[in-house]
Amino acid sequence: MNPGESAYQALNRRAFLTRAGSGMGYLALSALLNRQRFAASTAEAPGGRWPGSVHPLHHAARAKRIIYLYMAGGPSHLETFDPKPTLGRMHHKPIPPSVLQGQAVSPNGRSTNLCVGPQFPFVKCGKSGLPMTTLFPHMAQIADDLCLIRSMKTDSFVHDPAHTLMSTGSLLQGRPCLGSWLWYGLGSECDNLPGFVVLRTSSGGHPLNGDMWGVGFLPTRFQGVHFRSRGDVVHYLRNPEGMTREGQRDAIRAVQQLDRLSPHAIDDPEVATHISQYETAFRMQMSVPELVDLSSETAETLRLYGVKGFDGSFASNCLLARRLAERGVRIVQIIHLDWDHHYSLKTSIPTTAAQVDQGTAALILDLKRRGMLEDTLVVWGGEFGRTPVAQVFTDNPGRDHHNQCFCMWLAGGGVKAGHVHGETDEFGFNVVKNPVHVHDLHATILHLMGIDHERLTYRSQGRDFRLTDVSGQVVEELLA
């Protein structure tokens, strides 16, 4: 309101229409400037690579790349990395109310209140004496390289929202995943492959939604590229009959010439994205066959991983992840299903553990001997843990979902080696020391990659979003 102007004059119809019209103009200008700002920031490096939106990095990076071994389904911390002798002594007895602290024994309301002791023995591994289940004889060899978090917490005990939170920092679908945020922030070091590759193993377990590698509201160029485990690794890798490489190159060039007319007319950054994707797809036709051809690997390396070639197994995907990392791919995620053990824990978890044990250990050992582990961050874990009580008590019981505490580990990339962080109670029900929320984990991962999690943002729907939303603290105790 101008000096001397009455409230009535300030709110008359003409003033209202004038100010409303100006407001709409400001909104349009803001949207235009935001689009121009993004377009200006998308200047590509030679070869069509995205250089990253964080220039320079917010601080010195400890890791250049990340390999995320995602154990989908909720691995039981009580059978893997969190030994509980007291729980073992209470086997088949009711869990004390003092442990529950007024909480439901199972959020789903479908469990007994009878304790189930750890079903497999634990041993101290390595010079650090890190306790680990005997189900992981190969991982025992890398105990001194692991930074184990025993105090993870998440917000949901249901698979889909828990997967979404672990992947995107939100329980709601439609947000960018960790890999897409990293590709957007850091860019790619590779001309012939995407900056973010996803590999999946095993056909069992709970189905996953695309948010695990989804781009959300970020430009579509940062979408994770799913490499298949069977047949052609990427769809349409081979040209159809009658199409030569030269003919395909001519077709792409013609489409590019037409597409480049569009930005001047509609100023849409997605047009530039599509041009870049055509080029990457064309180059991948040459690079991917060589990538999955393991004939150049030594016999000793193949024995280390326990594979003979690329067969879509977890172990061969781990070897493929190392090859992708060598070629400049920033983010590789391997998703392994089959960890949802509601029943028959004694007979089912050994099978799943054996599927991932050798490949996981081989990846760490292989990276280490090549001098890559020090700047490669490896993450291992699922979306939540399991209850200390039986879902149905039998001679071969299982465990229900549990979000109050679970285990994950990190290795390489600037984290403490042979270190255990956090603690749960004697029953593995609640965190009693140094809780780490999913947002804290994400903040720490970004920090190791040279990014301040509060400063990596993207404007969408009228506000700035970030991976950690409005939460998250870097867990300094995990850093070397």
Which tokens is 327 given?
């070629």
d(CA 74, CA 83): 17
Counting the structural domains of the chain, the total is 2
Residues 370 and 424 in one domain: yes
Q: For residue 269, is it within any domain?
A: no
List, as one string, the DSSP characters of 16-54.
Answer: HHHHHHHHHHHHHHHHHHHHHHHHHHTPPPTTS----S-
The pLDDT, as a whole number, for residue 49 is 77
Query: What pLDDT is stored for residue 7 in this prediction?
Result: 46
- Does one domain contain both 403 and 433? yes
Residue 391: inside a domain: yes
Torsion of CA 442, 448, 449, 452, to 10 degrees: 70
For the record, the structure tokens of 246 come out as 């030269």
Residues 11 and 159 in one domain: no
CATH label of the domain that carries residue 227: 3.40.720.10
Contact 392, 405 (CB under 8 A): no
Give 79-118 pLDDT, tens digit per residue.
Answer: 999 999 999 999 999 999 999 999 998 877 788 999 999 9
Reported as a single tens digit per residue, the pLDDT across 308-321 is 988 889 999 999 99
Say yes or no: 31 and 172 in one domain: no
Residue 34: the pLDDT is: 44
Domain span at residue 233?
A: 58-238+276-478
User: Are 27 and 156 found together in one domain?
Assistant: no
Residue 247 pLDDT greater than 80, yes or no: no
pLDDT for the residue numbered 110: 82
200 and 104 in a common domain:
yes
pLDDT band at 215 (very low <50, low <70, confident <90, very high): very high
**244 in a domain, yes or no?**
no
Determine phi and psi for 423, rounding to 5 degrees: -155, 145
Say if 245 falls within a structural domain: no
Query: CA–CA distance from 397 to each of 38, 78, 109, 278, 388 (Å)?
Result: 54, 13, 16, 51, 11
What H or E segment, with its residue span, contains residue 227?
strand 225-227
Based on the fold, state whether residues 438 and 313 are members of the same structural domain: yes
Residue 257 lies in a domain: no
Is residue 26 located within the same domain as residue 83?
Answer: no
pLDDT at 254 over 80: no
pLDDT of residue 251: 63
Q: Are residues 297 and 365 in the same domain?
A: yes
Co-location of 33 and 100 in the same domain? no
Non-local (6+) Cβ contacts of 137 within 8 A are 357
Tell whether 49 is covered by a domain: no
Q: Are residues 360 and 300 in the same domain?
A: yes
Residue 317 and residue 405 share a domain: yes
User: Where is pLDDT greater, at 393 or 89?
Assistant: 89
pLDDT tens track for 424-449: 999 999 999 999 999 999 999 999 99
- pLDDT for 41 equals 46
pLDDT in tens, 316-338: 999 999 999 999 999 999 999 89
Distance CA 50, CA 46 (A): 9
Asked whether residue 76 is assigned to any structural domain, the reply reads yes
pLDDT one-digit tens code per residue, 2-59: 545 444 444 455 554 455 454 444 444 444 444 334 443 445 554 567 899 998 999 9
Q: What DSSP line would sit under 116-146, residue for residue? A: ---SS-EEEETTTTEEEETT-TTGGGGGGGE
Q: Is residue 367 part of a domain?
A: yes
Q: How confident is the model at residue 208 (pLDDT cuts 50, 70, 90)?
A: confident
